[in-house]
Amino acid sequence: MTWGLLGAFGAALAYGAGSVLQALAARTTSTTAGLDPRLLLRLMRSGRYVAGVGLDAVGFLLSLAAVRTLPLFVVQSVVAGFLAVTAVLGALVLRTPLRRPDRVALGVVVLGLALVGASAAEGPAVDVTRAEQWGLLGATAVLAVLAVGVARTPGPRGAAALGAVAGLAFGATSVAARMLPPSFPLTAPGRALATVATQPAAYALLAAGVLAMLAYSTALQRGTVTQATAPLVVGETVAPAVAGLALLGDAPRPGWGVVALVGFGLAVAGAVALSRHGEVAPADEG
């Protein structure tokens, strides 16, 4: 197994554990009528949320490292497997029973990830133009405007809409990381800050990351975990995969295209099915 795949699986583990902590914290925090950035400040008072964000940060860095050497369709489908981690942790720690459909979905995710991993071909993305990087930053701005609009929608529809926006924003962070030049120093903070000032994709990465966290936290307050997470999984896997194949030169191993497609579909479908596991009721308005 390559270092890139190890990073992607590590990200799934971190995201899975972090999502349990963040969902519990979001349920016990008063809701807001729109997309209120102060929600993140209120959530930061919760030790569980802070721990969850810490795990998310670890997962985020691991996934960024993974997309530097692996196609987006590989990394995003593996990271979507965080829902399998959440389901297993829920059964072991929170005593949330794994129903038969959950166990079937777990098996589907594992099979899908095995196929995707087998079809993976390592390599950096092709060089992109500054215009394409600015285009991604512009798309992130459009997502922010869209999030403000859909945040006014209450209930399940609002949860699904915000979950979709969060998924697209999370996907944008991965596309941005894949767009950065091969010399971008992820492990050297000082040099990385200097690079941020000259790379539009780096700004897109930062802005999309904040937007994704805020939109998803708000979505968890609007409806159930399923209503918020199912569209998130689709948005953060399908859109980046298409962008990688169309713009960044991503491709599976020669002759493994069908295997990659089937594995990707199984992993995403299983993850969406697993988003129904371990529902927690939304918090009361207040």
Radius of gyration in angstroms for the set of CA atoms belonging to the chain, rounded to a whole number:
18
**Residue located via tokens 């859909």:** 150
| Count of helices and strands (H, E) across the chain | 12, 0
Residue 94: helix, strand or coil by DSSP?
coil
Task: Give the C-alpha separation, 180 to 199, whole Å.
Answer: 7
Q: What is the 3-state secondary structure (H, E, C) of 240-263?
A: HHHHHHHHCCCCCCCCCHHHHHHH
Identify the DSSP state of 180. Answer: S
* Residue from 203, 195, 68 nearest 133 by CA: 203
Mean pLDDT of 53-75: 88
Residue 127 clears pLDDT 60, i.e. is over it: yes
Task: Give the C-alpha separation, 181 to 2, whole Å.
Answer: 21
Contacts 24+ apart (CB under 8 A), 182-188: 182/68, 182/124, 186/61, 186/64, 186/65, 186/68
Q: What is the pTM of this model?
A: 0.78
Residue 77: helix, strand or coil by DSSP?
helix
Token pair listed for 95: 């005593």
Token pair listed for 96: 């949330």
Q: How far is CA 46 from CA 39, 66, 115, in A?
A: 12, 30, 39
The predicted pLDDT at position 212 comes to 93
The predicted pLDDT at position 178 comes to 87
- Quote the crossing angle between the two packed helices 200-222 and 130-150, to the nearest 10°: 20
Binning pLDDT at 50, 70 and 90, where does residue 283 land? Answer: very low
Q: Which of 37-51, 75-89, 235-249 has the highest mean pLDDT?
A: 235-249
Mean pLDDT of 29-43: 64
Token pair listed for 187: 């492990």
Average pLDDT, the chain: 82
Residue 26 clears pLDDT 70, i.e. is over it: no
The predicted pLDDT at position 281 comes to 45
Task: Give the C-alpha separation, 73 to 77, whole Å.
Answer: 6
Query: How many other CB atoms sit within 10 Å of the CB of residue 97?
Result: 10
Around 68, how many Cα atoms within 13 Å sit in the side-chain half-sphere? Answer: 18
pLDDT digits (tens, 9 = 90+) for 225-280: 777 888 888 888 888 988 988 888 888 888 998 998 998 999 888 888 877 665 54
Token pair listed for 139: 């798309």
Binning pLDDT at 50, 70 and 90, where does residue 2 land? Answer: confident
Task: Give the C-alpha separation, 52 to 32, whole Å.
Answer: 21
Task: Give the C-alpha separation, 258 to 251, whole Å.
Answer: 11
| b/e per residue 23-56 (b: at least 16 CB within 10 A) | bbbbbebebbeebeeebeebbeebebbeebbebb
